[in-house]
Amino acid sequence: MSLWSRPLRDLAAVPPVVLRGRSNSNGLGELVRYSASPLLNRVRPRFPRIHAERILGLASTGHGASLTYLDASGAVRSSQLERWTGTKHMMLFAQDEDNALRHPRHRVEKSINFILTHGYGRFPDSRVFERTIDPWREWLLGELDGGPSAIDLVVTSNGHFATGWARLGPQLRRWFPNATVVRAIEHHEIHQRQAFWASGFDEAAVLTLDTTGEPLPRKGWRQIAGTISVADRDAGWRTVREWLFPEMSSGTIFDATTHHVGFRQGEEGKTMGLSALGTAELFESLRPALLLHPDGGFSFLDSDGFQAALDRYTPARAPGEEITQQHMDVAYAGQAILELIVVNAWRAAFELTGRSRLAYAGGVALNSVANGMAWREVRPPSVYIPPNPGDPGHSLGCALFGAYEVARWEPPSEELTEYLGPMYDEGAMAEALAATGHPLSRPRDLSQTLATCVANGHIVGRLHGRAEFGPRALGNRSILADPRRPGMKDYLNVRVKHREAFRPFAPAVLEDQVGEWFDLDEPSPYMLRVVPIRREKLDLIPAVAHVDGSARVQTLSERQNPDFWRTISAFHDQTGVPLVINTSFNLAGKPIVETPADAADCFVASEIDVLAVGPFVVSKKDLAWYLETDSGA
Ligand SMILES: [Fe+2]
């Protein structure tokens, strides 16, 4: 089914919704009181002000650990642990916690272990905090690092691994002897902060949609799955809605869908991609059970009922088994239900708060198809979704909370950049490339050279500047290829990235050209929005078209990333097409490359033809006929 026809038909099928009273009498989720004036409940008083000039945010959940540093001069560094270790979704445990998880002795530990081994599908790859934090911090901060004693404020999540379970709190105070340690921030508060404080907005509605959070005493040890709040940089935060796990958890519906089609946690994007190949048969049978509430919540089959419906339709697929049409239909159903819930939640966030700006985060915010649908159906004036909206972005949310709500720095009025990793010098770049054994060159006009390589069908790996903080490569850790070649998608999937053949590739397009090629007339800088390709352009860029004619677009301005913008501009000059394939610089199952040495290893082990790191190029092809260089190195 085409993306052109689906939203209108599906949304036309949404029945009028009626909020059944202001209390939650049917037991479907505990809500903050709702009235014509929704701004009733402040979540908590503002924190007592603490003077701090260097702030560390630290987070570890089932999706992996991350570290963020902010200082009063404006420096920001963020990175996920997986980029440093080379193992995806790597988590961080306190030593005691690690021991308890691997050798559970009592009931609580057994329950945590059960979650880790069954909920995540495996015992996670992890590092022990006490042996990791110092070298990891030194790697990330490099030139900035004054050591642990220079940190004034440490902010961590309240209840997730390494920093939760009351194991590491006292140790954090010993580890950072001059720091105040704040651990009182909840999972969804962090999601709210990573969206709002990075947006540059003065005030906004803030929406979070997720699978769950941590058990909260204030909720009778239940967990929150989503929130609507209002944030104002002067007046503070007020909660408008809180939806509870599991009955109002949009993430749970998509998790169940993902597991049923044979993918694991962290592979939700595969389910999203697969959904375009499904039919509406299962969705149509489930649709009557979905009731969308005007407060942004929903009622649906409980998780047992949903699972039973999926089981009746087709047995769950084991990883590696053939994907049948029925599995594609399951993906379609889960995706279409999620889209309806997300569109409804966006509408409610605007209507309940009366705000014209929306900041949106949580794991569900990574669903770029649902985002694209919500943008088109709600037509909001202004929405910000951070490039790392899920749990791996939590360390940034923690640090931003520390900066603007504890230390109370003056908030910036511009969006935070997405390029937050450490820098590498040209010596390290040249050394890493020389180690590949291929001749090293330094082109006079690198952008023209790379554009020519792409236009000639070569696969180009590009490492430039600081790495992106998030799951999408946005030009600094990217593989680039020609979108005009019909066979390029299959070649990249099968021969280069070794992943499923149905998965689409995203285009990075010049911002001022996007409206001519896509049904999109505003920036989409973080690749978090799927939109239709204009019909008349479909045949010109087949390698970035998904089966339904859509694409997950990254728009690019010169200001955002001058290096990447110049390369695409050169490709535009040479071909008339203002976009290239931009896929993350990694192989299947591996995190995105971080260092020049990582990039060189990936280049050697893959079918990537050309590798450009900083100003240097190595190639497996003979590029001499169009590669003018200043010197051999
Ligand atoms: Fe989350």
444 CA → ligand 1 middle, Å: 46
The residue assigned the tokens 């569109």 is 343
485 CA → ligand 1 middle, Å: 38
329 CA → ligand 1 middle, Å: 27
- Residues 6 or more apart whose CB falls under 8 angstroms from that of 536 comprise none
**Do residues 307 and 169 share a domain?**
no
Helix (H) or strand (E) holding 614: none
CB 364, CB 250: distance < 8 Å: yes
Residue 533 maps to which CATH number? 3.90.870.20
- Residue 386 has which token pair? 């951070």
Burial of 204 (0-12, 13-18, 19+ CB in 10 A): buried
Any idea how long the chain is? 633
- Residue 515 has which token pair? 């409206």
363 CA → ligand 1 middle, Å: 5
Indicate the pairing of strand 357-361 with strand 382-384: parallel
Burial of 155 (0-12, 13-18, 19+ CB in 10 A): buried
**Do residues 181 and 215 share a domain?**
no
Residue 150 maps to which CATH number? 3.30.420
- Residue 52 has which token pair? 């701090």
Report if residue 196 sits inside a domain.
Answer: no
What's the pLDDT at 112? 62
**Do residues 586 and 485 share a domain?**
yes
Tell me which residues have their CB within 5 A of the ion that is ligand 1.
210, 391
pLDDT averages per 10-residue partition of the chain, 633 residues: 36 33 30 32 60 94 91 96 94 81 64 58 78 94 89 83 60 88 89 97 97 88 94 92 94 94 90 97 96 95 89 93 97 98 98 97 97 96 97 96 94 95 96 96 95 96 98 97 96 91 95 97 95 97 96 97 98 98 94 97 96 97 72 46
Burial of 130 (0-12, 13-18, 19+ CB in 10 A): middle
Q: Can you give the residue range of the structural domain that contains 376?
A: 6-30+205-385
- Residue 546 has which token pair? 């998904």
Distances (CA, A) of 142 to 5, 132, 134, 418, 548: 51, 15, 12, 19, 45
Report if residue 401 sits inside a domain.
Answer: no
Quote the pTM value.
0.90
Question: 440: which DSSP letter?
Answer: P
**Do residues 535 and 590 share a domain?**
yes
381 CA → ligand 1 middle, Å: 26
**Do residues 442 and 334 share a domain?**
no
Task: Please identify, among 132, 152, 185, the residue that sits at the C-terminal boundary of a domain.
Answer: 185
What's the pLDDT at 170? 73
How many folded domains does the chain comprise?
3
**Do residues 177 and 316 share a domain?**
no
What's the pLDDT at 113? 62
**Do residues 61 and 176 share a domain?**
yes
210 CA → ligand 1 middle, Å: 5
191 CA → ligand 1 middle, Å: 7
67 CA → ligand 1 middle, Å: 16
Distances (CA, A) of 575 to 193, 356, 568, 569, 583: 42, 40, 10, 10, 20
- Residue 90 has which token pair? 């790597």
- Residues 6 or more apart whose CB falls under 8 angstroms from that of 217 comprise none
C-alpha span between 68 and 16 (Å, rounded): 44
What's the pLDDT at 589? 87
CA-wise closest residue to 447 among 275, 566, 590, 580: 566
325 CA → ligand 1 middle, Å: 31
CB 1, CB 548: distance < 8 Å: yes
How many Cβ atoms from other residues are within 10 Å of residue 190's Cβ? 32
How many Cβ atoms from other residues are within 10 Å of residue 478's Cβ? 27
- Residue 93 has which token pair? 């445990």
What's the pLDDT at 485? 97
420 CA → ligand 1 middle, Å: 21
Report if residue 47 sits inside a domain.
Answer: no
Report if residue 365 sits inside a domain.
Answer: yes
Indicate the pairing of strand 579-584 with strand 477-481: antiparallel
158 CA → ligand 1 middle, Å: 13
**Do residues 214 and 345 share a domain?**
yes
Burial of 194 (0-12, 13-18, 19+ CB in 10 A): buried
144 CA → ligand 1 middle, Å: 29
Report if residue 219 sits inside a domain.
Answer: yes
44 CA → ligand 1 middle, Å: 20
Question: 617: which DSSP letter?
Answer: E
What's the pLDDT at 46? 56
What's the pLDDT at 167? 62
Distances (CA, A) of 507 to 125, 284, 512: 32, 32, 14
243 CA → ligand 1 middle, Å: 13
- Residues 6 or more apart whose CB falls under 8 angstroms from that of 28 comprise 247, 248, 297, 299
599 CA → ligand 1 middle, Å: 30
Report if residue 407 sits inside a domain.
Answer: no
Planar angle of CA 540, 544, 550, nearest 5 degrees: 100
Report if residue 486 sits inside a domain.
Answer: yes
Angle between helices 368-378 and 268-275 (to 10 degrees): 60
**Do residues 14 and 59 share a domain?**
no
CB 488, CB 497: distance < 8 Å: no
**Do residues 379 and 342 share a domain?**
yes
Residue 304 maps to which CATH number? 3.30.420.40
**Do residues 434 and 344 share a domain?**
no
Report if residue 1 sits inside a domain.
Answer: no
**Do residues 477 and 618 share a domain?**
yes
What's the pLDDT at 99? 79
C-alpha span between 555 and 429 (Å, rounded): 28
- Paired with 361 in beta bridges are 208
- Residues 6 or more apart whose CB falls under 8 angstroms from that of 23 comprise 31
Peptide bond between residue 246 and the one before it cis (omega within 30 degrees of 0)? yes
How many Cβ atoms from other residues are within 10 Å of residue 186's Cβ? 21
